[in-house]
Structure 1
């Protein structure tokens, strides 16, 4: 099993799309093992987006992600990072395929509703930024046996 971080960004929360998006991940068979509503501080934004801080557009990004509450969550599942990224679609909502989260709900590059970790190292680093180890609840839903064959675990 693989874990990844998702952030339902301020535009997602303000537009009341949280439930629809959470449902998509659950329908896919991904397991939520941690979740919280929180406000990203400028300091946390700088840690999360450290590779972008020096870029000229970073202040706009920081202003956006700190503008309102977000939902941070850890998803677990087979190939969770790839699966989530494919479900999200292209970063720019105008270029995202119909049927993806961004393709269906976003028409912006920056206000693209959901962040998903882009690799295993990023997922581990990002999960640690948002969750303490004791906040992650390992559990197997009873429906798991109906989502994939036993030899796929």
Structure 2
């Protein structure tokens, strides 16, 4: 059984959510005995890495040692799972970048409750229609869905997103 690094007793749900996200994505190399918020190479691709793959988990930490995940970037990681519904369990998440993997399925309904500002899912195997509920993410400014297997038209409701600068 892997040991679990607890950010603090208030944030055990954060680590549990990251464990669920890893399982849903098929991400097997996160080391939960390490703090995901301390810049450990297990959680962040070292600076200067010339590879185009990116493995980044960024947190914001308050003065009371309370840390919250705000960015998960896993580009070119050869992930073969599905988009994680449990992403919605991270209340401070702003950025999800899962570009250029082998993820399949659809965009989870649970994401509608997030405050995401940046979603990059290009270059995967996502299918179905682009969901209308994305227009409920009023904080969304960047949405990249190209090079997937989506069908149908882009929902007109996305045009109502006042912060959206790239679609």
Relative contact order (alpha carbons < 8 A, sep ≥ 6): 1 or 2 greater? 1
TM score, norm. by length of structure 2? 0.24
TM score, norm. by length of structure 1? 0.25
